[in-house]
Amino acid sequence: MRSHYVKNSPQILAASEYVEQEPFANRGKWRESLGIAPEAPLCLEIGCGKGRFLEEMARQEPEAGWIGLERISSVLCRAAQRMDAVAEDQAPHHLRLIRAEALQLGEIFANGEISRIYLNFSDPWPKVKHCKRRLTSDRFLPIYRRIMTPDGCLQLKTDSDDLFAFSLQSLAEDGWRIGVREDDLQASPYAGDNIMTEYEIFFTAQGKPIHLLRAFPPVSGT
């Protein structure tokens, strides 16, 4: 499942119509840039990997805007190549890819601009000394709160028991409200509508349970 080095990755990213070359310039203007309605959902996958989930969600909700953020160039190249290979009549037009760090999200998106955030099989950073690097740590949750709409939703899927438990505790301590919690996604009522990532297909084939949670930002003033 590890991504290999991609030769000429800068050139591939520069040539792809799906890769946003100047994401910071779109802050507060993403809906306009993507050509979606002002009231349409703007959805962000942090750590989009090779883009399977993002592409399928964009097909499922073509009226929404979809943005995939990935910090590793070679991985983003795979996502860009995937999108570029889609036939024109099936292409997800309201979709962009960004190479950036999650800590830069506040510079890329304006306050209240994002409707949904997806964290799919994020690095669990299992060592305690690395817990601040987890995408549900208190380094990141305040950023998510700022860029999300008041009725926004954060969805996490993971095979890691430790990351799931950590995320539940971290979200609760930051005032988030847990709306959905499932310890075995495939055995839950949400299995039918679930779009699998590459990792999820792999782990599910091994019979490994997948955790799911959906959380909502703290109510303003709390």
**Does residue 221 lie in a domain region?**
no
Quick one: which H or E segment has residue 98?
strand 95-99
Name residues whose C-beta falls within 8 Å of residue 74's C-beta, 6 or more positions apart in sequence: 3, 4, 5, 6, 9
For 185, the domain range is: 26-216
Encode pLDDT of 179-201 as tens digits: 999 999 999 999 999 999 999 99
Distance CA 123, CA 135 (A): 8
Give per-residue burial for 148-173: e unless 16+ CB within 10 Å, then b: beeebbbbbbbbbeebbebbbebbee
Among the listed residues 123, 161, 183, 184, the single catalytic one is 123
Catalytic-residue membership of 123: yes
Structural domains counted in the chain: 1
The CATH code of the domain that includes 61 is 3.40.50.150
Return the structure tokens found at 175: 């005032």
Encode pLDDT of 56-96 as tens digits: 999 999 999 999 999 999 999 999 999 999 877 787 889 99
**Does residue 16 lie in a domain region?**
no
